[in-house]
Structure 1
Amino acid sequence: MRREDAFFGDQELVLIYIGKRLSESKAVEKLLDEAGLDYLVEPDRYRGGVLFIRELIGAFFYVTEENADTARELLRAAKHAVYVPGGQAAR
């Protein structure tokens, strides 16, 4: 279920997905809801583009460390690109 930041308290949260389009972000929300996982979504900036790099705003999805592997597996099974720190998103 989508939760507020305060719900997680001092727990370490892990970025698992960056939604660049509203439709894909809603699909990820539905996937995580159906799996019964608690998650946080916050808008944030990312750099995108091929020829013209620019700053864009996306939906950043976070889960607890203990749920990160499960969430990544769900995303991969649904053909969503999983966030990989310092690199390209992995499918």
Structure 2
Amino acid sequence: MKRAVLIVNPFASRVTEERITAVERALMRVAYVRTVRTERPRHAVTLARDAGEADALIVFAGDGGFNEALNGVERDDLPLGFVPGGGTSVLPRALGL
């Protein structure tokens, strides 16, 4: 089974414990999931960099948290996923999601 890292920004406006659990359960249908939480600004950069062994990286955060995680990715072949958790969620709207 594939291994995924889920980076969660618990400070994002629409991220709750219930939603984190729901996202984890959905992902666990297709992969082993290791959930890590940001603790401070720019922490997602480090967490994404440390996810190098994963088969996929999923970010549950706002636009800023996703941007941070992107800045930490060091592999060209790492599939990325984004679960919008911010109040504005400009990125999903811009992508037509």
Q: TM-score, structure 1 length as denominator?
A: 0.35
Q: TM-score, structure 2 length as denominator?
A: 0.34
Q: Which has the larger Rg?
A: 1
